[in-house]
Amino acid sequence: MSFKRTLMSLSLACMLGATPVLAAQSTAPVESQAVVSHYADLALATYSDALTRARELHSAVETLISSPSEQTLQAARSAWIAARVPYQQSEAFRFGNAIVDDWEGRVNAWPLDEGLIDYVATDSYGEESDENPFYAANIIANPSLEIGGRTLDASQITPELLSTSLHEIDGVESNVATGYHAIEFLLWGQDLNGMAPGAGERPATDYDTDNCTGGHCDRRGNYLSAASALLVQDLEEMVANWKAGGAARTELTSKPTTEGLATITTGMGSLAYGELAGERTKLGLMLHDPEEEHDCFSDNTHWSHYYDAKGIQNVYLGTYSRIDGTLMQGPSLSALVASVEPELDQNLRQHLEQTQQAAQAMVDSAAAGEPYDVMIAPGNTAGGARIQAFVDALVAQTRVTEEVIARLELGQVNVEGSDSLDNPAAVQAQ
Amino acid sequence: MHNLTRLGQLLASSGVLLAGITQAAPVIDWDAFNGSAISQHVQPRYQQLAQQSQTLAETTAHWCQARNSDDFADVQHAFENSLQAWQGIQHVQFGPVQLLMRNYDIQFWPDRKGIIGRQLNDALQGPTAGTYDAEFFRHASVSIKGFPALERLFYDKGALQTLQQQPNACALASAISATLAKTAQALYSEWQTQSISTQEGTDDDEAAPSDLPDLSLDLLRSLVQSIDVIRDGKLLNVLGKDQASARLKRAENWRSGQSLRSIATNLEALQELYSGGGVNLDLILREQGATAEADEIGALFSQARSQLEGMPDDFAPALQNASTYAQLRAVSVTLKALDEALYNAMPSINAQLGFNSRDGD
């Protein structure tokens, strides 16, 4: 809800400020509508790449299930890591586009109570939670469950069971039954190394019905297959949303142009600040808890954060490096800001680059044997400082994003005094 | 999103509204606003937190010497007083409390993954159990440093027996409460010694995109954004879709039975920030000609607080009863209206609150 209000205030700010901008732009090289349109093209390309990688992941998963071995398990894990590259870059399209934000929980919900899905080590995970009656439900081991006076028939593990019955069951967000992180858990298992190096070590035999470890290998295979098939379906839906005539593109491009620009900045600021800097990064630093990292099973958090930040930079610069190596470029918000105030554009570009450098430092650290959950360990001052530098860069970047939003208002500040126009209730009520 | 379009249509007439407003509005004395808010709202409330936390630390340490069942209520009473003092200044999430993330040290909540219980068990029974000195707290997770951890130690099922029988439990409770007292005293001192003009609310070097001083903007954010936190996080998240789906354990302070009392304290504090002594937002809005907005905000604060009057401190009985459940729903409706009224008033004072940390939730 707070996000919607931000969108509203930004939309108004930009709408109100737009007239002089657009008037001044009649001879300028960058047209606002072209910026919005190119942004939609970037979204289509990014989600299309995410879909391609998800299909490859599903294929690797099917191979693992039919021929379980350490090799096929590693191949599936590699496919998952590759799938994260385009998807994380797509997250800059989430906030601001209601169609994406409403859908996102199906594919990238986090954090999750993994005990809902499969066996867990109860000594570290525990057996119950204040918030979640399904905390340790273990669907894979239990074809039928009775929790809180409710019986759940899970005898057949299908995409429908996961998406309609299990996901967010009982209204609890951490009951994540679908998406990247559910698949990640099924490929890696819990990371039981605490704050020492090392990711989850689920054996391939967890999928070997002849030499089954962990029990219920057939059901585990069914679950993994259903989850990766669902991911493909969900991404197909999102790709369609961004094609010509698709719902997300239509909604975006039918807005007044300046609202479209506000959508871009809302996505940039909300992802950078509240979500990435706060929820996904700073919290882990404060809690020193190995579960408190975005990709906690695979220890791939450094890359996920890197590409999340990269997506924000893409959106501002109007660029995207596709998975086939081609580079997309087009009319950008950056060029639009530069046409109004070159120094401000330069400032935001620099901040976006500084954020990338801070993310790169986390990536380098992981490559040198100190991944995210080691960096956040209590007493790891240097590791903590690397994470904090990333948070600080994102916060600073958000402040400049706010300056861009304010700058686009130009001479309209007094219009804000017309308070009857700024009515967040209108948006919240939807 | 049709409402956005509708608003866009309204813009056509916005230019007409401009001239009168800009010419009539006097310059706002934000320094006076800051001065009043700090000296009459922020500092006294941190002083209260420091005093109550000191009492809690002393009471806990004293009780832990004999651990008598008879006077355990004294510890719980001191905890509740200290907790309420925190609830009275919880909305200030900037300034000294942000330094070294002490806001999270005092209260890590909500705990969606049950981390507090897990890390508390580690602290009580793990390899480092028993030594709860400054070095321990320097490296410890925020989850075991503040009120939520103490609440578990004082109110969990079997808490009294655990404190009586396990020396580590009392040692940790004493250490946490002593740390809290020290933190609260430091915050109070820092708010006193820093001059208002040098008090930085934000923790970065970037200028705010508004003409408002950072401190004023932070105070406004504290006021406006807290209403949404209370409504969403403290009320609706517990109330659920209907009475049958209500979830007590999502409530803040449910273990100590202080959930609704905390909300009442929050609202009392926020109303004070809005219209309490000296130069306040209510006064500024009226000076800017936004009298109707100021009237509405004041009335909604009073309405929400009166709707809470007569409610138990504890959420649990209120959730069991259909009429109190309905009454809490009504409070949430009032808070929504208050939230909207506050946001609607921001343009009158040219305040752009910007992104907040809850965006993206």
Q: Using one digit for the tens of pLDDT, what is the confidence trace for B194-203?
A: 655 444 444 4
Which A residues in the span 381-400 are in contact with B, Cβ-Cβ below 8 Å? 392, 395-396, 398-400
CA atoms within 13 A on the CB side of B159: 17
- Confidence grade of residue A429 (pLDDT, cut at 50, 70, 90): very low
Residues 2-21 of chain A whose Cβ lies under 8 A from any Cβ of chain B: 2-3, 5-6, 8-9, 11-13, 15-16
Mean pLDDT of B75-98: 96
CB atoms within 10 A of CB A114: 26
Q: Is residue A150 a part of any domain in this protein?
A: yes
* B352 has a pLDDT exceeding 90: no
pLDDT in tens, A331-348: 999 999 999 999 999 999
For residue A354, pLDDT beyond 80: yes
pLDDT band at residue A317 using 50, 70 and 90 as cut-offs: very high
CA-to-CA distance for A407 and A345, rounded, in angstroms? 11
Give residue B195's pLDDT.
Answer: 55
Q: Kindly state whether residue A144 falls inside one of the protein's structural domains.
A: yes
Domain-embedded: residue A115: yes
Q: Are A135 and B135 in contact (CB under 8 A)?
A: no
Question: Is residue A187 exposed (0-12), middle (13-18) or buried (19+ Cβ within 10 Å)?
Answer: buried
Whether chain A has a CB inside 8 Å of the CB on B359: the answer is yes
Measured CA to CA in angstroms, residue A336 lies from A290, A410, B95 at distances of 42, 13, 35
Does any domain span residue A87? yes
CA A419 – CA B345 distance, rounded (Å): 6
Closest CA to A139 of A160, A124, A154, A151: A154
- Which residues are CB-contacts of A123 (< 8 A; sequence separation ≥ 6)? none
For residue B309, report the phi and psi dihedrals to the nearest 5 degrees.
-65, 140
Q: In total, how many domains does chain A have?
A: 1
> In which region does residue A322 sit, left (phi positive, over 0), alpha (psi from -120 to 50) or beta (all else)?
beta
Whether A300 is in a domain gets the answer yes
Confidence band, pLDDT 50/70/90 cuts, at residue A126: confident
Mean pLDDT, rounded, of chain A? 87
Cβ contact A418–B114 (<8 Å): no
| Residue A265: other Cβ atoms inside 10 A | 26
Chain A, nearest residue to B346 by Cα: A419
The answer, for A270 touching chain B at a CB cutoff of 8 Å, is yes
CB atoms within 10 A of CB B157: 8
Tell me whether residues A421 and B209 touch, CB distance under 8 A.
no
Mean pLDDT computed over A235-257: 96
Tokens 């008033």 — which residue? B345
Residue A289 has pLDDT above 90, yes or no: no
- Residues A44-59: pLDDT tens digits? 999 999 999 999 999 9
A126 and B118 within 8 Å at the Cβ level: the answer is: yes
Q: Which pLDDT band holds residue A83 (cuts at 50, 70, 90)?
A: very high
| Nearest by CB: A426 against B3, B232, B346 | B3
The H helix count followed by the E strand count for chain B is 18, 0
Whether the pLDDT of residue B357 is over 60: the answer is yes
CA distance B260 to chain A (A): 18
3-state secondary structure B168-229: HHHHHHHHHHHHHHHHHHHHHHHHHHCCHHHCCCCCCCCCCCCCCCHHHHHHHHHHHHHHHH
Nearest CB to B360: which of A270, A289, A407?
Answer: A270
The confidence score (pLDDT) of residue A417 equals 19
Domain-located, residue A1? no
Nearest chain A CA: its distance from B54 CA (Å): 25
Measured between alpha carbons, how far is A374 from A369 in angstroms, rounded to an integer? 9
Q: Which residues of A touch B353 (CB under 8 A)?
A: 9
Residue A31 in any domain: the answer is yes
Round to whole Å and give the CA distance between B191 and A367.
43
Q: Which of chain B's residues have a Cβ under 8 Å away from the Cβ of A274? A: 355-361
Taking an 8 Å cut-off on Cβ atoms, the answer to whether B358 and A2 are in contact is yes
Q: Is the pLDDT of residue A20 over 80?
A: no
User: Which residues of chain A make contact with B336, given a CB cutoff of 8 A?
Assistant: 425, 428
DSSP class per residue in A371-416: -HHHHTSTT-HHHHHHHHHHHHHHHHHHHHHHHHHHHTTGGGGGGG
User: What is the CATH number for A314?
Assistant: 1.20.1420.20
Which pair of tokens denotes residue B254? 């449910």
Distance from the Cα of A209 to chain B's closest Cα (Å) equals: 32
User: What's the pLDDT at B82?
Assistant: 98
Q: A419, A420, A421: best mutation site toward chain B, by most B Cβ within 10 Å?
A: A419
Residues 195-254, chain B, touching A (beta carbon < 8 A): 202-210, 225, 228, 232, 240-241, 245, 247, 249-250
Position A419 in a domain: yes
Nearest Cα residue to B108 out of B79, B150, B136:
B150
A18 pLDDT band, cuts 50/70/90, is: very low
Q: What is the pLDDT of residue B211?
A: 66
Give this prediction's pTM: 0.82
Range of the domain at A175: 7-12+23-428
Q: Which residue has the higher pLDDT, A15 or A63?
A: A63
Q: Do A415 and B18 touch (CB under 8 A)?
A: yes
Q: pLDDT class for B10, splitting at 50, 70, 90?
A: very low
Residue A131: predicted pLDDT: 78
